[in-house]
């Protein structure tokens, strides 16, 4: 399945395979390809959703993936066309026809085209091009049954290669578009259009952007805290954990096993409390907000508005997406850098995300650690993080070789996100946290419990004490977050909670955690996506830098807080 970005391929894919895959009203949301099983009447089929491409000349690494997929000689290529921007989709279709692969087309977003007073005569196109064509509305599911049966037909019938065609030209695509276009009522300048345009203009777009970012921040923190206080804390803290503790205490004699399970770093106390009550609420609220921003098409507007600022960092407007994703989790952020057009941009965003963008798990931990003790310290951490991010960007753009990139991006329409699509998406991301994040945190806690109960922790603390007590002015136990922080970012923060630290010490701890090693999974991904050398640089630099800056703030903090 191939087509231009942001045309609804992923929605069609999800509907056909009944799977939950990331979908966004934002170019470049599918960066690797997704693969799903599709049950047709005659046989099971493997359906691949390729990253969006405008033409077969790839402009980014993600687009090269799509072109490479075509070289694997698929049994059938389903080209998804955009009814609202027919000619560029048709050019892609014409290019695909030149490849001599079995081909089918489906014209999506016909509902949006109708709103603009346009209709596409898909039968005319099918006759002209000799390619079976179906019209669909993926968001409502209209036309998908027909698509399913036509796919079945196309796969079971013998394929005869099409006649050799001249090289595709834009003139031909334009001619076909003119001929296939039918007028369907009057085009209306809707409120949605006007609002969408207003949000891209500097006025009122920039103040609105500030307002929206503040609102999003407030929503993430507020809703997260509410979820924690009213839902997750009562459920886990008062219901589940005490029961588990009672059960363990009833079953096990006092000893190492019992202490590991319910002791200071008990697997069943901290191991459940931390991931579920301190981090999970923010994961939910953040992804809810992010999904609305993505699906409404606002993210691209933000990218266009901030383009001038991003340019100073050698980035283009498209880089907003991976940076925002980085505030959720660094892994999808690094993956999303594939959609950026230059290697320099990818490296810059990678440096920003690895060094100074805290993931939502860590942000949740910061909020839990600081919000109740010192709001000033929380604001301070946020400021330091933003300043560091901007500095990293500016430095990276100066130091890395290569030209600054030029922005050229499509701004999708402003749409009201559909609740069912949003719900699925938030759930898919939350499930990802539950499946990958929670076990990692629990493993980290179990590791800490073992170290603590066997006394190894004290030894490590003593060994590291010159750094931790002398330089960072923290108690010896603060070696724990430094050890655990390598596994998960939030584990560099959460153990500080029960140490009875002063506000200044909390702030120091938070700053160290902010700049400290991104989790081990991210380092591994940097090695895979870029180079093992870069991963080592990230590992060493973040450790040294975090400790160095932490020490400076430990001395500055008491002056301010």
Quick one: which of 211, 251, 371, 408 contacts another protein (CB under 8 A)? 408
Nearest to 342 by CA among 411, 412, 410, 396: 396
Site string for another protein, 201-230 (x = CB under 8 A): xx---x------------------------
Q: Does 311 bind another protein (CB under 8 A)?
A: yes
Phi, psi of 99 (to 5 degrees): -80, -15
DSSP letter at 102?
Answer: -
Quick one: which of 309, 395, 456, 540 contacts another protein (CB under 8 A)? 309
Q: Does 451 bind another protein (CB under 8 A)?
A: no
Pick the closer one to another protein by CB: 201 or 470: 201
CA gap 29, 247 in Å, rounded: 46
Pick the closer one to another protein by CB: 201 or 528: 201
- Cβ-in-10-Å burial (0-12, 13-18, 19+) of 174 comes to middle
* Span of 240-248, 264-272, 303-311, 485-493 interacting with another protein by CB under 8 A: 303-311
**At CB < 8 A and 24+ separation, what contacts does 61-64 make?**
61/338, 61/339, 61/346, 62/28, 62/30, 62/31, 62/338, 62/339, 63/339
Pick the closer one to another protein by CB: 193 or 264: 193
Quote the least distance from Cβ 292 to another protein, whole Å.
Answer: 20
Are 131 and 104 a contacting pair, CB within 8 Å? yes
CA gap 58, 4 in Å, rounded: 11
Pick the closer one to another protein by CB: 205 or 275: 205
Nearest to 265 by CA among 69, 541, 481: 481
* Span of 271-279, 400-408, 509-517, 542-550 interacting with another protein by CB under 8 A: 400-408
CA gap 50, 67 in Å, rounded: 9
- Show the tokens assigned to 475: 């108690």
Are 322 and 333 a contacting pair, CB within 8 Å? yes
- Cα end-to-end span (Å), the chain: 57
Pick the closer one to another protein by CB: 27 or 444: 27
Pick the closer one to another protein by CB: 413 or 477: 413
Q: Does 300 bind another protein (CB under 8 A)?
A: yes
Quick one: which of 14, 110, 291, 316 contacts another protein (CB under 8 A)? 316
Site string for another protein, 101-140 (x = CB under 8 A): ---------------x------------------------
Q: Does 21 bind another protein (CB under 8 A)?
A: no
Q: Does 28 bind another protein (CB under 8 A)?
A: no
Residues listed for the chain: 561
Judged by the rule CB under 8 A, the positions of this chain that interact with another protein are 4, 54-55, 57, 59, 84-85, 87-88, 91-92, 116, 170, 196-197, 200-202, 206, 300, 303-309, 311-312, 316-317, 406-413
């Amino acid at each position: 399945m191939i087509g231009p970005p942001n045309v609804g391929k992923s929605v069609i894919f999800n509907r056909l395979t009944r799977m939950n895959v990331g979908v966004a009203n934002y170019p470049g949301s599918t960066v690797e390809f997704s693969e799903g099983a599709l049950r047709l009447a005659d046989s099971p089929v493997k359906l691949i959703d390729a990253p969006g491409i405008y033409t077969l000349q790839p402009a980014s690494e993600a687009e090269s993936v799509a072109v490479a997929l075509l070289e694997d000689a698929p049994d059938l290529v389903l080209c998804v066309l955009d009814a609202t921007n027919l000619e560029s989709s048709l050019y892609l279709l014409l290019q695909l026809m030149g490849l001599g692969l079995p081909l089918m087309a489906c014209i999506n977003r016909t509902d949006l085209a109708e709103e603009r007073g346009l209709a596409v005569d898909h039968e005319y196109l099918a006759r002209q091009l000799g390619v079976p064509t179906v019209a669909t509305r993926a968001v409502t599911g209209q036309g998908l049954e027909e698509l399913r049966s036509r796919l079945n037909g196309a796969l079971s019938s013998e394929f005869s290669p099409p006649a050799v065609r001249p090289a595709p030209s834009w003139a031909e695509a334009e001619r076909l578009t003119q001929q296939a276009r039918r007028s369907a009522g009057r085009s209306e300048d809707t409120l949605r259009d006007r609002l969408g345009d207003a949000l891209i203009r500097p006025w009122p777009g920039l103040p609105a952007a500030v307002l929206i970012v503040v609102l999003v921040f407030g929503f993430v923190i507020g809703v997260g805290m509410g979820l924690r206080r009213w839902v997750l804390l009562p459920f886990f803290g008062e219901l589940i954990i005490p029961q588990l503790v009672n059960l363990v205490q009833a079953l096990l004699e006092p000893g190492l096993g019992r202490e590991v399970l319910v002791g200071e770093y008990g697997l069943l106390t901290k191991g459940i409390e931390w991931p579920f009550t301190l981090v999970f609420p923010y994961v939910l609220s953040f992804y809810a907000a992010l999904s609305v921003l993505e699906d409404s098409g606002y993210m691209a507007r933000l990218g266009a508005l901030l383009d001038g600022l991003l340019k100073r960092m050698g980035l283009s407007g498209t880089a907003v997406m991976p940076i925002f994703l980085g505030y959720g989790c660094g892994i999808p952020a690094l993956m999303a850098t594939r959609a950026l057009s230059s290697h320099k941009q990818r490296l810059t965003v990678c440096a920003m995300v690895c060094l100074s963008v805290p993931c939502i798990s860590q942000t949740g931990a910061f909020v839990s650690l600081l919000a109740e003790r010192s709001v000033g310290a929380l604001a301070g951490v946020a400021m330091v993080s933003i300043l560091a991010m901007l500095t990293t960007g500016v430095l990276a753009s100066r130091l890395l070789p290569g030209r600054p990139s030029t922005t050229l991006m499509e701004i999708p329409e402003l749409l009201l996100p559909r609740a069912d699509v949003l719900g699925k998406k938030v759930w898919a991301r939350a499930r990802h946290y539950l499946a990958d994040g929670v076990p990692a945190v629990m493993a980290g806690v179990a590791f800490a419990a073992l170290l603590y109960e066997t006394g190894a922790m004290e030894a490590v603390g003593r060994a590291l004490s010159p750094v931790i007590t002398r330089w960072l002015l923290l108690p010896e136990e603060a070696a724990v977050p430094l050890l655990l922080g390598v596994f998960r970012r939030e584990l560099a923060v959460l153990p500080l909670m029960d140490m009875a630290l002063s506000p200044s010490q909390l702030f120091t701890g938070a700053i160290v955690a902010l700049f400290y090693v991104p989790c081990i999974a991210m380092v591994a991904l940097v090695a895979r996506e870029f180079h093992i050398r870069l991963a080592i640089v990230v590992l060493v630099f973040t450790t040294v830098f975090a400790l160095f800056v932490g020490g400076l703030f430990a001395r500055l903090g008491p002056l301010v807080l």
